[in-house]
Chains A and B, each alone.
Chain A
Amino acid sequence: MEHLHRSLGIVAQTEPSSGSSSPTLSSLGRKPAAAAAIGGLAGGLCSHLHSETQPQHGRSVSQTSLASISNGGSSSAYNVAGASVRMAVSLESTGQARETQQLSTPGDETTASILALAQTQDLVYGGTQNGSIHVWRRDTFRLVQTLQAHAAGCLALAIDETRGILFSGGGDGRVHAWDAEQLEPLFDIYAAENSGAVLSLAYFSQLDALALGCQNASVQWFDVGRRDAAPCDRALREIQARRSRFFDSSDAAIAVCPSNAPELSNGSPDANRTSVPVFVVEEQNVVGYAHSGYVYSVIAGALPSGEPALFSAGGDGVVRLWRVGSESAPQPMATLARDADALEDACVHSLALGDDGVLFAGLQSGVVDVWDLETMQRIRELGTGDSRPSVFVLQYADGCLFAGAADGLVRVWTGDLHEVGFFATGSAVLALAGGSGNSELVVGGRSVGFWDVATLAGDSSQLAQELVPTPASAPLSMAMRTPNAGVRRRGGRMMQALAQWMRLRSVSGVPELQPECRRAARFLRDLMRQLGASDARLLAATAGANPLVYGRFDASHSAAANANADANTNSDSDDSDFACVLVYGHYDVMPAGNESQWTSRPFELTGRDGYLYGRGVTDDKGPVLATLFAVAELAAAGALSLPVVFCIEGEEERGSAGLREAMETHRRLFGAPRLILLSSSYWLGETTPCLTYGMRGSIRANLRIESSRAADVHAGVWGGAVSEPLTCLAHVLSRLADPAGRVLIPGFHDSVRPVSPAEEQAMRRLVQWITDKEARAPLVTRTAQSPAPEETRALLFEQLMQRWRFPTLTVHHVDVSTVAARSNTTLVPAAAQASLSVRVVPDQTLGDIAHKLRTHIEDTFAQAVAAEPSLLDSLTLHLDVQPVAQWWLADPDAPVYRAAAKAIRDEWALGVDDVPLLIREGGSIPAVPWLEAFFAPHAVAVNLPMGQSSDNAHLDNERISLENLMRGRQVVYRLLKNIGDVISKQ
């Protein structure tokens, strides 16, 4: 350290104009304790102005520090003299810090910086540059409300946790008190006249008093508990007397100025506040010139003796300690100042109290001073070594000191002053909140970030305890923690697993990514084992296809004994026919598509504004893990009444290739599922939970009409004498459906089940609900165009019936034989082809519809060719019809459906019988009807959608709401907890 000071001292002196003539530098230079600050100053001056005059070793300092910032990974700060090398570690790269959510601040980006943060167990408050306070829920990361608080910047927040009061301090020189839960204004406190901005606030719970740090260098004291002692009208009178000759005068001179300007600046931003009681900080409670600079920080604390104390610091670089009592203004006790502080251009932006009677002071120069409050001595300086950006904010939480700086880094030290490392937040760190039982550190700047830093806290033995042993082969590089209450609520462990799983690009059907798919499969297998699965393995699918992940959680003994014996009668006699729950899902995902369309990296789990983003997060990795963790939690609690087997395939996005073969081969493993549970669809809208009980089936067809000639011919030369494949194709296609989309195939509609009155009634209720509650959902906004509500509902009813209830036929694609024929408008193509599909519904059968489609196309073609026998060549039809998926329809009145609906209602606390909405889907999942048939007759499939209609599955920015995912997990938990009883009724 000493070497460093000297060498930087040399830098300062060799820099010509900041040499010995400067008293600031020379006076400080004599004092080793403060020398690092000079280092910072001199380094800054040199690199700023005269880098070409720096000696070589001076330059290497700045280069090293540049490199350490730019490489983003682990970096090192070298002592110039080479005496020691200290590593500064990126905690993101070691997995010790991970941003779980980033919340954007609503409103104009340029004025929305978060300047202050506060939190309770449930809510996080962010004071912004434009004076408003955003309030978010901690569990869902949803914005609850935005309070219009201050006319000019909300700079400070403090909380009275006992009574649940939030205090906000603003650039308008006022403190507002709010009900921290109801978010209603309670009362206002005006700082003394001409105090400027209220830059900092501290609440003293024992004294029920508030300390204000103000722009005019004063510290002010307000007795919250006895605020009513002074008559209220006195406060009002005093405020009214505070008229500024400039701003509040009605002199004629003002007429020249914009007429609306004075009103604008004086108006209260929130009309609601006019009715709340108003108080003023009395003159005797103002400590004028408590500092000689802005009071950027006041904190409430105690001396090692236990005596309560107020600590203040600010733009004059010194820290002051004040004796506080409820009776009077704070009394000066001590000043903590470097020897030369009075002369130094130093500034303290933030204070924090550590354990063991230490006080931390974050300085403009980028270092953190550590003061021992027993001896009132400065015992350490953290972050010396290279010139560092200003430390704006400190937070001491869970045994760690966090220092947020202008460069966007949060640096971390243990309570024992060991540097742990740093993490990067992307914009200057202006506010921090942590502790109070929350495992996450909240970081405010341009946005609000929630950082999981729980692994940093505590000693190593505690850490070891929390580690779950992972097999050597497991891709789990990170420590997985046993969830504590707070983490469990937010699913910290599940989120970590999801983050790692999503990093594996398990896109099926891409040969290069096949190893990634295998890794994703192994990851899931290992995770199942760690979570207590009695069996977890990979089952080979057909050659070249990705394996199936199989896992089994056994029924808990106690729970199984309580379950109805009927359900398990077979389990004694034949192990392969045990009653169970089958969870079906898939780990393969769609390709990311155009990555430039994504706002975050597609294969990185990114939390933003209450949503989780990333490929596969809603289709289907998120729901699969939510289900797995619910099952594991039940198993761990001994509450699993039936065995649960998992069948998580890797080829779903490619039509489930090899699923049948793998399951047939390993049928014994899957027992006799009574419930097939999957989560592979979406809510109809954004806010109402749904339950999917039906899907259409699908048949795919390709037809190609070829002429007997070998190549395209010239239309002018040959036209009229040759056959026209495309015209013929068009003719055939035109006979399949009319322009309105009605299918014209004879007998096509014969077996469509008639709509029963009950069904129609249910549908109308559903439509009513959607138009009432989901008016902004894409479903409604895209469908309903009518201004009349009843017409809107009628339209929506028709649309949904067409999409879910009736069959349809789509021509996807028409093409001609050669590339030349596509663009050259003088050719007669030699062949033309089309691909189409049919969606089928109950009670159409795939075989019957495929047959009717084939026959109709063949007949139409034959008639067309027969009409023109005199052409030079002839046409032939090549037709390929493939059934893809059977339709699927469950009975929503079946006990498992009723149970699922109840689980959803209970979890979402919905008192209405109309929800969850029972919905169908127009699309198809081949595995669902197939699995039902495979495990017939007792198996009932329940498709339990977790995500919303805006989840963007298969598209860019795929996402799922965090709340939906966590509640989805709980719904599964609730459903499976009682599943033994439920299926016994089936």
Chain B
Amino acid sequence: MCRFLLYKSNSPILLADLLTRPAHSIIMQSFNCKLLIDKRKTMNGDGVGLGWYMEPRAKGCIFTSTLPAWSNINLQRLAENIKSGLVFAHVRATTGGTVTSESNCHPWQYGNLMWMHNGNIGGFDQIKRRMQNSLKEEIYLNIQGTTDSENAFAVFLNMLEDPLGRKEFSFDELKQAMLATIEQINQWLDEAGVTETSLLNFAVTDGQTVVCTRYITDREREGASLFYSSGSEFRCEEESSTYRMIKANKREDVVVVASEPLTYEKSDWMVIPSNNLLVITPKLNVRLYPIVDQYWNPHRGHQKNVNQNGC
């Protein structure tokens, strides 16, 4: 199980204000995550990755390392010096027996697009060939690592028109490609007769729009946790020295999505319901769409504690 975090705003934020300083920052989550699904893996220590954009329509930059996030001095250094308005961050716990290597660290990029995943495709080995066979040549050749996550990215890219050449995509295009990716994966899993559950919390961006999902191939259980927070500024309040999402006006100027809340301010964080797709548009509008397919259940979760021991 992994943890991820993404941030989009009108004004760049110092990465440290997201990654290292908040009470439950992604670094904290790397060794002390609270919303475990797999109780045997309590650490997300198999590498860390950071992706950020300096400006829209320009390719983002990625830093990955196989060192655990908590002991990665370079990560600390970068965080103290980089400001960005669009950030992806990921701490990894390997699944499916894949190796801990830099090429297996999230996020990945292709052209202007960046991708990360929290969860796993259950029975990935049984559909890996189908996935790769479906890919256009240049997309297939771009796969560097061995993970289900990177292969899912390739499937996503395959859904887009000219993913390498274009600098931006409409949010609807990215949304449709994401839905198509999930649909396609489900179809392959069904064809392969996989019964294992998949957790598909994906996040993708072209540097302007962010599309992410909280998704599980199950009608009853909840997907891997995913929260979001929006407001006019995410900053540390001097008085209490805690991070708060400031809501100074009607507009959303900042949106943070994270596997676990970065702070303990309950009212600052919203649960993204399972099997929903969340879009952050270029103008910072947050859109929420249910993913209505065979696993859609509007009454999910009303029987409490169904998934206490799940996946």
Q: Chain A residues in contact with chain B, CB under 8 A?
A: 17-18, 21-24, 49, 110-111, 113, 115, 129, 151-153, 155, 170-173, 194, 196-197, 215-217, 241, 244-247, 249, 251, 253-254, 256-258, 261-262, 264-266, 283, 288-289, 292-294, 296, 315-317, 342-343, 345-347, 349-350, 364, 390, 392-393, 406, 428, 430
- Cβ–Cβ contact A347 & B246, under 8 A: no
What are 5 residue pairs bridging A and B, where the CB atoms are less than 8 Å apart in the complex?
A: A115-B250, A129-B246, A215-B270, A216-B273, A293-B288
- Cβ–Cβ contact B287 & A253, under 8 A: no
* 0/1 interface trace, chain B 260-300, chain A, CB 8 Å (1 if under): 11011111111101000000011101111110000000100
Which chain B residues border A244 with CB–CB below 8 Å?
Answer: 266, 271
* 0/1 interface trace, chain B 145-176, chain A, CB 8 Å (1 if under): 00000000000000000000011101111000
Which chain B residues border A18 with CB–CB below 8 Å?
Answer: 168
Which chain A residues border B118 with CB–CB below 8 Å?
Answer: none
Q: Does B67 contact A (CB under 8 A)?
A: no
- Cβ–Cβ contact B250 & A349, under 8 A: yes
Chain A proximity of B206: nearest CB distance (Å): 11
Chain B proximity of A11: nearest CB distance (Å): 17
Q: Identify which of residues 45-80 in chain B touch chain A, using a CB-to-CB cut-off of 8 Å.
A: 55-57
Chain A proximity of B83: nearest CB distance (Å): 18
- Cβ–Cβ contact A246 & B250, under 8 A: no
- Cβ–Cβ contact B168 & A22, under 8 A: yes
- Cβ–Cβ contact A194 & B249, under 8 A: no
Chain A proximity of B14: nearest CB distance (Å): 18
- Cβ–Cβ contact B287 & A152, under 8 A: no
Which chain A residues border B227 with CB–CB below 8 Å?
Answer: 246
- Cβ–Cβ contact A258 & B287, under 8 A: no
Given contacts A196-B270, A364-B285, contact A17 B247 (CB under 8 A): no
Q: Which of A24, A292, A345 has the most CB of B within 10 A?
A: A345
Chain B proximity of A433: nearest CB distance (Å): 15
Chain B proximity of A883: nearest CB distance (Å): 61
Which chain A residues border B251 with CB–CB below 8 Å?
Answer: 349, 364, 390, 392, 406
- Cβ–Cβ contact A292 & B288, under 8 A: yes
Given contacts A215-B270, A216-B288, A342-B172, contact A115 B247 (CB under 8 A): yes
Which chain A residues border B248 with CB–CB below 8 Å?
Answer: 110-111, 113, 129
CB-based nearest A residue for B233 = A110
Given contacts A115-B250, A256-B28, A430-B250, contact A194 B286 (CB under 8 A): no
Q: Identify which of residues 91-119 in chain B touch chain A, using a CB-to-CB cut-off of 8 Å.
A: none
- Cβ–Cβ contact A343 & B170, under 8 A: yes
Query: Apart from A261-B263, A316-B285, what 4 extra A-B contacts exist at CB < 8 Å?
Result: A197-B247, A257-B28, A261-B242, A293-B285
- Cβ–Cβ contact A247 & B266, under 8 A: yes
Selected contact of B265 from candidates A152, A256, A349, A364, CB within 8 Å:
A152
Which chain B residues border A347 with CB–CB below 8 Å?
Answer: 283, 285
- Cβ–Cβ contact A265 & B266, under 8 A: yes
- Cβ–Cβ contact B250 & A392, under 8 A: yes
Which chain B residues border A173 with CB–CB below 8 Å?
Answer: 267
Q: Does B131 contact A (CB under 8 A)?
A: no
- Cβ–Cβ contact A406 & B249, under 8 A: yes
- Cβ–Cβ contact A171 & B289, under 8 A: no
Which chain A residues border B56 with CB–CB below 8 Å?
Answer: 49
Chain A proximity of B32: nearest CB distance (Å): 5
Selected contact of A246 from candidates B34, B230, B288, B298, CB within 8 Å:
B34
Q: Does B33 contact A (CB under 8 A)?
A: yes
- Cβ–Cβ contact B32 & A292, under 8 A: no
Which chain A residues border B167 with CB–CB below 8 Å?
Answer: 17
Q: Chain B residues in contact with chain A, CB under 8 A?
A: 23-24, 28, 32-35, 55-57, 166-168, 170-173, 225, 227, 230, 240, 242, 246-252, 260-261, 263-271, 273, 281-283, 285-290, 298, 302, 304
A288 to B275, CA, bound (A): 14
- Cβ–Cβ contact B290 & A293, under 8 A: no
Which chain A residues border B287 with CB–CB below 8 Å?
Answer: 217, 292-293, 315-316
- Cβ–Cβ contact A289 & B290, under 8 A: yes
- Cβ–Cβ contact A23 & B242, under 8 A: no
Total number of residue pairs linking A and B with CB closer than 8 Å: 153
CB-based nearest A residue for B56 = A49
- Cβ–Cβ contact A264 & B267, under 8 A: no
- Cβ–Cβ contact A315 & B34, under 8 A: no
Selected contact of B23 from candidates A261, A364, A428, CB within 8 Å:
A261
Which chain B residues border A315 with CB–CB below 8 Å?
Answer: 252, 285-287
- Cβ–Cβ contact A345 & B285, under 8 A: yes
Which chain B residues border A197 with CB–CB below 8 Å?
Answer: 247, 267
Chain A proximity of B201: nearest CB distance (Å): 15
A21 to B160, CA, bound (A): 13
A660 to B230, CA, bound (A): 72
- Cβ–Cβ contact B298 & A194, under 8 A: no
- Cβ–Cβ contact A364 & B246, under 8 A: no
Selected contact of A364 from candidates B55, B225, B266, B283, CB within 8 Å:
B283
A217 to B167, CA, bound (A): 30
Given contacts A153-B247, A296-B250, contact A262 B285 (CB under 8 A): no
A296 to B172, CA, bound (A): 22
- Cβ–Cβ contact A246 & B32, under 8 A: no
CB-based nearest A residue for B283 = A345
CB-based nearest A residue for B242 = A261
Chain A proximity of B54: nearest CB distance (Å): 13
Closest 9 interchain pairs by CB? A152-B267, A261-B264, A265-B266, A345-B281, A196-B270, A315-B285, A172-B267, A247-B266, A24-B170
Selected contact of B261 from candidates A113, A241, A246, A428, CB within 8 Å:
A246
Which chain B residues border A294 with CB–CB below 8 Å?
Answer: 230, 252, 285-286
- Cβ–Cβ contact B271 & A194, under 8 A: yes
CB-based nearest A residue for B172 = A343
A364 to B286, CA, bound (A): 13
Chain A proximity of B281: nearest CB distance (Å): 4
A151 to B269, CA, bound (A): 13
- Cβ–Cβ contact B249 & A113, under 8 A: yes
Which chain A residues border B269 with CB–CB below 8 Å?
Answer: 246-247
A194 to B287, CA, bound (A): 15
CB-based nearest A residue for B281 = A345
A660 to B121, CA, bound (A): 101
Chain A proximity of B255: nearest CB distance (Å): 11
Chain B proximity of A29: nearest CB distance (Å): 13
A457 to B294, CA, bound (A): 57
- Cβ–Cβ contact B267 & A257, under 8 A: no
- Cβ–Cβ contact A251 & B34, under 8 A: yes
Which chain A residues border B24 with CB–CB below 8 Å?
Answer: 257
CB-based nearest A residue for B227 = A246
Which chain B residues border A171 with CB–CB below 8 Å?
Answer: 247, 267-268
CB-based nearest B residue for A25 = B170
A380 to B27, CA, bound (A): 52
Which chain B residues border A251 with CB–CB below 8 Å?
Answer: 34
A296 to B240, CA, bound (A): 29
Which chain B residues border A115 with CB–CB below 8 Å?
Answer: 247, 249-250
A630 to B268, CA, bound (A): 54
Which chain A residues border B28 with CB–CB below 8 Å?
Answer: 256-257
- Cβ–Cβ contact B265 & A265, under 8 A: yes
- Cβ–Cβ contact A292 & B289, under 8 A: yes
Given contacts A293-B286, A296-B250, contact A23 B260 (CB under 8 A): no
- Cβ–Cβ contact A256 & B32, under 8 A: yes
Which chain A residues border B270 with CB–CB below 8 Å?
Answer: 194, 196, 215-216
Which chain A residues border B302 with CB–CB below 8 Å?
Answer: 283
CB-based nearest B residue for A41 = B283
Selected contact of B168 from candidates A17, A152, A258, A342, CB within 8 Å:
A17
Which chain A residues border B298 with CB–CB below 8 Å?
Answer: 288
Chain B proximity of A440: nearest CB distance (Å): 22
CB-based nearest B residue for A315 = B285
Which chain B residues border A430 with CB–CB below 8 Å?
Answer: 249-250
A264 to B225, CA, bound (A): 23
Chain B proximity of A141: nearest CB distance (Å): 24
Selected contact of B170 from candidates A23, A151, A264, A390, CB within 8 Å:
A23
Given contacts A194-B270, A288-B298, A293-B286, contact A264 B247 (CB under 8 A): no
Chain B proximity of A30: nearest CB distance (Å): 15
- Cβ–Cβ contact A17 & B285, under 8 A: no
